[in-house]
Structure 1
């Protein structure tokens, strides 16, 4: 085959064979394919790592051996078998020393057993198993290589060079897969942004979808979290239901308007016809009056004109009343459509969020609790549930007004969000009460987190006009127990919060 192809053709054929066999594009695999196509012997690759381990295990006993080890290191770097052999011979021949004859062959200490800590190999195996789902299933070679690597890693006698080779091949393969997944995600996000922005552009009444479009754009902005996407999905389902209701009512209203317009046109036609008849009768009466020769003949004609005029007046009044009724129905339908639009505008924000603080409301909290508890049961991880209550909030409302109280609630919610992780959940539980869900957080860490939030409130005073106000809160923290419901955990946190209030306020206690 080498006579039929030049080196560049053999190289291209080797790359095709790598792809056809779904082999990792490592130098060793490429060399094997190249040698196979070129009918060349497939010599094993130079084992530089193993030779360096051997050189590291050799102990120099004199100056000559030190020089031999330096030569050995250089020859390994040049990947020269002959040089390695000469250096090893020189090292053994230089083993003569005190009490030993020159030329005596020195047998070095045996290579130390190569082993990794069991917990390290177990963690490495879990890392590989955790990475696999994120790489997708487009390339069947990846799970196959992962299986080979895990099998080598779990052998009773660990073959470290073999594990290193398999890890290198696997990591090289997943680097391509990871890059592809990132590109796919970025492309999908860009496409989603375009779709959302085009929806906003195509809607004639921007107020209809402004809240939904803004929310979607915020949800798909990096960093992405499943929590934000799930929440946005639920909000959109509510909005879609409201839109469906509005659409059905709009169709009915349009049909009513169409019928009213048809009746209006028909009534105009009738009025026009009546006017034409009345005009004709007036002209006929005028012509007959012109032919009257006696006064007795004039009275019947006048009675006919008066009767026709009366009928025309009655028809006109009736038409006016009917048109007024149609106008009233049109105005009522328009008002109903405006109200539907207003309800739709606020549907997304009001579905699961508190309109004042933009934290979750009670309905949103119930769904978040259900989701977090399911995650706790599945992953067996802790969940800290915190309930905080602003101290002396009634006094703040009474002294400065409810508007200042509302601003204080907004201020606390905004500061809490800045101190929270992206995985935490903030919900308004009552008037001045908030609940914070902290997944993967034990009780002690949950208490520390709330104490840090108290310190942030102390450092960042609330501004009411030009007046600086110190806002504090008392909080209780409970860790979800086995078999416990979310409401029961909140109740324990509420009891701890009550004790914190009784203990002097501005405290955090565990429940």
Structure 2
């Protein structure tokens, strides 16, 4: 009998697989191939399990690292002999008693009782985590509160706590991924809405400008102050879009009214023209039937009177059409004026037109937002009321006599500009009266705020006000307070104003901390 070739054995193995209706997996094919060829079964090398065991071996000492590396190399090479040698050497190493490795790998005193202080800190950590969860995940809140109650037992079992913390962290990992995906989806929806508003308002440059500002505000990471800026820009954008829609609707209604009047005049003109044509046809028949010349005279007078009447009606209709056209042009011009005025009102609704700082409304909104944020995060919030003081020689000069309020106004503008260049971007500055400015410094205790105001005074002394041909040094008097937890914004401003009055009475150019 001729020996079978490997190709014959492979073909017969496939036939056996088909006959036995076995799936053609590598394991089934190897078993059938060995059966057909008459070979002993080949034991598979458990590489994946041995590789996992190699990762669990201790590797604290250089000798342990060397033996672990030999073990892993034998697993990758599928060498039973090298694997056996590595295991034997590692066993002999353990028998010799490496005290340092044993102490590192297996603690002699396992933790049986969790310290009460550590359990309390873990409970507080989980309670703070619950505060960051949304109201929609009630199951995670329930698990969190159960874990807090378990931690505050006396004492909590460490093994049970380990398993509960493992399950809790596993659930939080999915929740964090879901919240991140939710934030990305919200950002994409908001970007789509802004892009849609830009697309449908190509003829309104102010609306497009507001949309670009909102897109710029959406680019950085969405921190709490950034979200407040996004909310402000979005509010302005929607307000502008609503006003534009109302203006377009009013213009549409007015144009509809003008078109209705135009159609009515055209209908009247057409009816008069039809009547005139009927009368001319009647006069033509009567002229043809006339037998005497005397009968033609009244007919000709009637034809001339009808023509004159039609001419007068046409003239009146043309005059009415010109009036309608002038009214339409006037309405269109009024719409453009109202749109420009609305844009100017939006720009100046929260900012002082002379200094560029926040006005009373804008300052109130910014101060209220920072107060809420300070109470929520329990962070310090400082408020300063400032007044720019000019030397008596500058106020007594000839220019000051011509315009007594020009120099103080210029001094305030100069102070606002220096403050914006010196202070932080998150510090808000606003104007509450003709002479007073208010500075809101978030995340700043009173001592740090006093240092920032001292830098502002130094910069103001180094940068005098240039007026006409004179260099005028502007002095700064400040009343500084730190907001109390249960204090209203109005009470904080009143305390800062009293501190400012005290600084002015002391001679000016001072920072009084109250």
**Quick check: TM above 0.5?**
yes
User: How far apart, CA to CA, are the structure 1 residues paired with 2:485 and 2:141?
Assistant: 38
Match of 1:507 among 502, 506, 510: 510
Match of 2:198 among 196, 200, 204: 200
User: How far apart, CA to CA, are the structure 1 residues paired with 2:301 and 2:342?
Assistant: 62
**Paired position in structure 1 for 2:93:** 83
Count how many residue pairs are aligned between Structure 1 and Structure 2. Answer: 443
Q: Is the 8 A contact 1:387 1:475 kept in 2?
A: yes
Is 1:224 the counterpart of 2:234? The answer is no
Secondary structure of the equivalent of 1:434? Answer: strand
User: How far apart, CA to CA, are the structure 2 residues paired with 1:116 and 1:77?
Assistant: 36
Change (3 A) 1:180 1:236: closer
Deviations along 1:38-97, whole A, 9 cap, x unmatched? 9x9x99x96969xx7xxxxxxxxxxxxxxxx997998899995752452347999xxxxx
**Greater Cα radius of gyration, structure 1 or 2:** 2
User: How far apart, CA to CA, are the structure 1 residues paired with 2:166 and 2:468?
Assistant: 63
Secondary structure of the equivalent of 1:352? Answer: coil
User: How far apart, CA to CA, are the structure 2 residues paired with 1:165 and 1:392?
Assistant: 71
User: How far apart, CA to CA, are the structure 1 residues paired with 2:474 and 2:511?
Assistant: 15
Match of 1:365 among 363, 367, 372: 363
User: How far apart, CA to CA, are the structure 1 residues paired with 2:312 and 2:409?
Assistant: 62
Is 1:316 the counterpart of 2:314? The answer is yes
Match of 1:388 among 380, 386, 402: 386
Question: Shift of residue 273 of structure 1?
Answer: 4.2
Question: Shift of residue 132 of structure 1?
Answer: 6.1
**Paired position in structure 1 for 2:210:** 212
Match of 2:325 among 324, 327, 345: 327
Show structure 2 runs of 5+ residues with no match: 1-22, 28-45, 72-89, 103-107
1:289-368 counterparts in 2 under 5 A? 296-346=294-344, 348-355=346-353, 359-368=357-366
Q: Is the 8 A contact 1:427 1:436 kept in 2?
A: yes
Match of 1:495 among 477, 498, 501: 498
1:28-427 counterparts in 2 under 5 A? 83-88=93-98, 130=128, 185-186=183-184, 188-190=186-188, 192-234=190-232, 236-237=234-235, 240-241=238-239, 243-244=241-242, 246-275=244-273, 277-278=275-276, 281=279, 296-346=294-344, 348-355=346-353, 359-377=357-375, 381-392=379-390, 395=395, 398=400, 412-413=415-416, 415-417=418-420, 419-421=422-424, 424-427=427-430
TM-score under structure 1 length normalisation:
0.64
Change (3 A) 1:487 1:7: farther
> Could you tell which deviates more after superposition, 321-330 or 402-411?
402-411
Change (3 A) 1:148 1:272: closer
User: How far apart, CA to CA, are the structure 2 residues paired with 1:320 and 1:458?
Assistant: 72
Q: Is the 8 A contact 1:362 1:428 kept in 2?
A: yes
Secondary structure of the equivalent of 2:219? Answer: coil
Deviations along 1:395-439, whole A, 9 cap, x unmatched? 599499899987765664455345545654332323453212223
Q: Is the 8 A contact 1:239 1:348 kept in 2?
A: no
**Paired position in structure 2 for 1:28:** none
Deviations along 1:281-331, whole A, 9 cap, x unmatched? 557657866887765334313421332133223313432343244234323
Q: Is the 8 A contact 1:383 1:439 kept in 2?
A: yes
> Could you tell which deviates more after superposition, 130-139 or 484-493?
130-139
Is 1:433 the counterpart of 2:433? The answer is no
Question: Shift of residue 207 of structure 1?
Answer: 1.9
Secondary structure of the equivalent of 2:202? Answer: coil
**Paired position in structure 2 for 1:105:** none
Is 1:473 the counterpart of 2:476? The answer is yes
Q: Is the 8 A contact 1:72 1:87 kept in 2?
A: no
User: How far apart, CA to CA, are the structure 2 residues paired with 1:147 and 1:84?
Assistant: 43
Q: Is the 8 A contact 2:419 2:456 kept in 1?
A: yes
Q: Give the root-mean-square deviation of aligned CA atoms.
A: 5.6
Secondary structure of the equivalent of 2:382? Answer: strand
User: How far apart, CA to CA, are the structure 2 residues paired with 1:368 and 1:478?
Assistant: 17
Question: Shift of residue 209 of structure 1?
Answer: 1.0
Deviations along 1:205-248, whole A, 9 cap, x unmatched? 23241342133123323143323433543564466456445534
Q: Is the 8 A contact 1:425 1:438 kept in 2?
A: yes
Secondary structure of the equivalent of 2:440? Answer: strand
User: How far apart, CA to CA, are the structure 2 residues paired with 1:164 and 1:277?
Assistant: 102
Higher relative contact order (CA 8 A, sep 6+): 1
User: How far apart, CA to CA, are the structure 1 residues paired with 2:295 and 2:303?
Assistant: 13
